[in-house]
A and B are shown apart, each in its own frame.
Chain A
């Protein structure tokens, strides 16, 4: 990966450049060589000398470049002296590379000496807008790398100060900058900083991104990655991937056209998330979401109605009252940005426009388009992490009332244990096994969702209220038992009204294994009980909940059930339950009492879960009630205002 510097450098050690540095330096060199004349050559007088030949960098641009590195003049003098340009009188490639490396060293705080050349250094940073490639690759990379790694701690403040200066100089989105210009103290802020800073650089630049900086960043990033042990392996990799992703995102897009407003660019991970949310509202990705559905969904974000109205108007480009997938992504992205403190733009940014979004993300992630291949290289951990943070900030707001509801449910579960006993015999007598099966089936996803407390859970659950009613409706409709209907009757109309259906279906992924196994143990005694109580009908009924086109929770239930049974002791009974019904009764009769206990426990659990669902629904309905009250008050105010007018 390292290549010796080309050309002969008479004095000094051979210059070892990493591949990235090589490319970057060659790029700069080409630029300086290609630039005709350049700006005012008030740099080091030696450099100002006219240079002959095509393989030398013109003095003017070189001087500008060096000045852009913001090193003091005497350092620049030193550097030019050391690199040999002074001696030979011009900036050949060798001299140029050495100079760049020395600049990097100087910027990193290392002394300007030949020995510094041997160190692995970050790329030199250049401030001037003319040398855009440098800014682009130098600054964000520096910022990220420096932030995380201890060796570069010294430069951290420098880079950051420079970033701030740059921002002020370049007068990028000042409202955006101001909350973020302060040194990042928390990861979310930090995540935003590279976004804004990196992108602000881009805003000022006008050229396209060269492949060199991107690759330069890669090797830059790689040495940074392993070397930062203290903050943990992940953050530097995150930064690296963040850089890479940003560079990736910028690079292909910029090759096509320059979109300087990076906070409005949707990353791949965000895109996936938005698409999933879209699918939860509208299964067909090519169709659109109606206004009312979208309204309910976006209202969950707890933004004010005028803001949401504004976001809608920005994103619904064709003003048809419905959101297609790109429009939805744009709207969602705007909401997320707004929740994270970005002020909303005056107009829809070009990166959020539907055509752009459709062009940028035409295919699913796995396919090998230019963008997707780059984004695949991006490790998923950083993107979801920072985006999750961003989105969790927003989604956590959305999940405000489901989250407390979950706490409530966990409490309820404990409370129910004591009170469920009297309900039990009734349950036992009333419901056939199928009810318990379907109940437990239905309840299991709920138990999973409630027992898990991870942030992803909260996020998903926060998103779940807007999931469409059909999913819980299916489970409800499939419930065949009286008991089930009684339990869930109050909730069914509410869910059907599409207000805030509980998330029974959605989070299968984080299902903790113990709850699964517990529920597995639960279902097995139920299966055992099934043949015992109603020999003939129960297996068929039991099979029905399994075999019907189940909603996702049930399907997922089946999946873990199928492999899991092997681990359970009544595993053979599960497999044989459907077939060996006749063999069951006599074995089951013997275990009647233990099964009764298990049935009791099941019923307890079921009741607890039912309570949990009702509690959640209650809280959600309370919220709705509050909102409706407010609307009513507003309407009444309006009426009051208008009444005297109409009396005329």
Chain B
């Protein structure tokens, strides 16, 4: 149901972006990119208050004809953006929240690895290491996959 999931770093470059394999995946990338403006807007609107009081879940960023884009920002200004298909009417806000929460948890697991440099891409497979499927990142990946595969 999630058509595209992206993790954007604080400096607004993507740490991880993955969409379901369709043609023209680039449009998802574009949508995520444009949604960053909306995210920044929402952050700054709430930004007067302290970070703790700011809600992590940003809710629906903007709807398009086919898709809806939801956002979530962590305390370290890492943004999660999720694009879902509009035809999934059964998808409720709570579900989106839970999905983001899971994403956040997986992300923190990846972060906890001291060998992960903040700002690295979250790849699930280390280069030139056939068996070195990095497990936590793989878990991250697989979790994202599960979000995408889940058919509502």
Contacts and interface: CB of A to CB of B under 8 A. Distances in A.
B131 A309 contact: no
A309 B115 contact: yes
A144 B13 CA distance: 58
Given A309-B126, A645-B13, A291 B112 contact: yes
B133 interface: yes
Interface string B59-91: 000000000000000000000000000000000
Interface stretch (A41-49, A73-81, A218-226, A311-319): A311-319
B98 interface: no
A346 interface: yes
A576 B34 CA distance: 83
B142 interface: no
Nearest to B33: A648
B114 A307 contact: no
B109 A294 contact: no
Contacts of A295: 114-115
Given A646-B12, A646-B13, A648-B33, A306 B132 contact: yes
B74 to A, nearest CB: 16
B114 A294 contact: yes
A294 B116 CA distance: 13
A347 interface: yes
Contacts of B111: 321
Contact of A343 (B13, B113, B131, B136): B131
A642 interface: yes
Interface residues of B, number: 22
A319 B115 contact: no
A561 B40 CA distance: 69
Most buried by A among B13, B108, B119: B13
A312 B113 contact: yes
Interface in B1-34: 12-13, 33
Nearest to B112: A321
Pick from B33, B108, B109 the residue with the most CB of A within 10 Å.
B109
Interface string A616-648: 000000000000000000000010001001101
A313 B122 CA distance: 13
B135 interface: yes
A304 interface: yes
Given A307-B126, A642-B13, A344 B132 contact: yes
A313 B134 contact: yes
Given A304-B129, A648-B33, A309 B116 contact: yes
Given A291-B114, A319-B109, A319-B112, A310 B12 contact: no
Contact of B113 (A304, A316, A347, A648): A316
Contact of B135 (A292, A307, A314): A314
A33 interface: no
Query: For the side of the interface on A, what is the size category?
Result: 20 to 34
Contact of B127 (A291, A306, A319): A306
A11 to B, nearest CB: 59
A308 interface: yes
A292 B118 CA distance: 13
A293 to B, nearest CB: 9
Given A310-B135, A313-B135, A305 B115 contact: yes
Given A291-B114, A312-B115, A306 B134 contact: yes
B132 to A, nearest CB: 5
A569 interface: no
A309 B134 contact: yes
Nearest to B12: A646
Contacts of B13: 642, 645-646
B131 A320 contact: no
Nearest to B113: A312
Contacts of A646: 12-13
Contact of A307 (B112, B119, B132): B132
A310 B135 CA distance: 6
Nearest to A318: B112
Contacts of A347: 135
- In this complex, the member of A305, A309, A321, A638 whose beta carbon has the largest number of chain B beta carbons within 10 angstroms is A309
A143 B83 CA distance: 61
A308 B112 contact: no
Interface string A294-334: 11000000001111111011101001110000000000000
A646 B10 CA distance: 13
Contacts of A321: 111-114
A294 B114 CA distance: 8
Nearest to A294: B114
Interface string A490-502: 0000000000000
18 contacts: A291-B112, A292-B114, A295-B114, A295-B115, A306-B115, A306-B126, A307-B129, A309-B134, A310-B133, A312-B115, A313-B135, A316-B112, A319-B109, A319-B136, A346-B131, A645-B13, A646-B13, A648-B33
Q: 9 tightest A-B contacts by CB? A: A306-B126, A291-B114, A309-B115, A321-B112, A295-B114, A313-B136, A319-B109, A313-B135, A642-B13
Given A306-B115, A313-B136, 10 more contacts: A291-B113, A291-B114, A306-B134, A309-B134, A313-B134, A313-B135, A319-B109, A319-B112, A321-B113, A347-B135
